[in-house]
Amino acid sequence: MEIAILGLGCFWGPEIKFSKLNGVIKTEVGYCGGNNKETTYKEVCTGKTNHAEVVKLDFDPKIISYNKILEFFF
């Protein structure tokens, strides 16, 4: 299994779409970067924390390649 972390403007819709891709085993949403070690959705929505909303994908590279995930992403 491999992992991809993709930064998005909002993670809820894309997480659902990625979870339906054949070969994606698990999805998880969260935040990367930013000024605070821990943050909340409400804080991130202010635009002042410098966090990016991200989706973490656990995927099987024998079924779907990282390049195919990126193609779907873009």
The phi and psi torsions of 39 (rounded to 5 degrees) equal -145, 170
Chain position carrying tokens 């491999």: 2
- Give catalytic status of residue 32 as yes or no: no
Catalytic residue among 3, 5, 10, 25: 10
Q: Tell which residue, 32, 21, 33, has the closest CA to residue 61.
A: 21
Go through the chain and tell me how many residues it has. Answer: 74
Copy the structure tokens of residue 72.
Answer: 């779907």
Please list the active-site residues: 10
